[in-house]
Amino acid sequence: MNQLNNISPHSIENLDFIEQYLYLEEIDSTNSYAKELKNFPKSGLFVIRAVKQSGGRGRREKTFFSEHSGGLWVSIIAPVTDISEHFIYNRALSLAICETLKSIDPSHNDKISIKWPNDIYWKDRKIAGILLENMPATQNAIIAGFGLNINILVEDFPVELRQSATSILIETGQTQSLDRLLERILESYWNFSHDNRQSSVHERYTKNLYKKGCPAVVDSRQGTFLTVEVDGQLRLKTSNGDVLCSSGTLRFLETYEVNR
């Protein structure tokens, strides 16, 4: 592990729900770092942030571009009472990132959405990804990692990502304070995950879903993407009735694919 950098550019550790804030120059993955910890938050959050990651990971061990200092590469460790309710934390973080992006400039609000199960899109390009993982040493905490592209130019992305990924700088032409955005995301995440009215939180979540009502495929199951249920399962309307998908890769179909 790299030496801990004690610089804290924006006093995030002073938020009253933060128990520990670790700010690292460069590591392989904040989620991997989190898995090695032997102590856990009791009631608040541990937050691990890296300036750069050399081995960022997404779902199904896919690589996640995070070698650039213009993004937020962060893992949140949160105490949980029931690990089976992990979607509460996915939903809270998805909404927190989505609504933080919308707060930058309301004129862009209709362009920002949540792609089930763990991506944030700006129009049709990915701007953020989320990875939830269990803590190996305990069932009483969960890791909610995320990467958000902020002050990154098109040419900073690997060639293979330039058509599918984007950043706040690319979309708005303006640079942002990473620390200020992280503070907003953490505050929103805390509020959403601790809201006693999770049905209301879920309603906000479903209103922000990407391409709801469009033809889609989840792995081999094809139909119309109806919604995401309160437990995190995607509801797909197929020719044989509604199907619930608890996991899988969601892909949207073009009109010619549906009609052929």
My answer on whether 231 and 196 are in the same domain is: no
Write down the pLDDT at residue 260: 40
Q: Could you tell me the pLDDT band of residue 95, with boundaries at 50, 70 and 90?
A: very high
My answer on whether 142 and 66 are in the same domain is: yes
Average pLDDT of the segment spanning 184-204? 97
Domain boundary among 174, 189, 207: 207
Average pLDDT of the segment spanning 58-79? 87
My answer on whether 20 and 54 are in the same domain is: yes
- Average pLDDT of the chain is 92
My answer on whether 152 and 240 are in the same domain is: no
SS (H, E, C) the chain: CCCEECCCCCCHHHCCCEEEEEEEEEECCHHHHHHCCCCCCCCCEEEEEEEEECCCECHHHCECCCCCCCEEEEEEEEECCCHHHCHHHHHHHHHHHHHHHHHHCHHHHHHEEEECCCEEEECCEEEEEEEEEECCCCCCEEEEEEEEECCCCHHHCCHHHCCCECCHHHHHCCCCCHHHHHHHHHHHHHHHHCCCCHHHHHHHHHHCECCCCCEEEECCEEEEEEEECCCCCEEEEECCEEEEECCCCEEECCHHHHHC
Q: Give 228-247 pLDDT, tens digit per residue.
A: 999 999 999 999 999 999 99
- Give me the number of domains the chain comprises: 2
Range of the domain at 232: 215-259
My answer on whether 247 and 198 are in the same domain is: no
Q: What is the pTM of this model?
A: 0.92
My answer on whether 126 and 187 are in the same domain is: yes
Average pLDDT of the segment spanning 95-104? 97
Q: What is the CATH number of the domain that holds 223?
A: 2.30.30
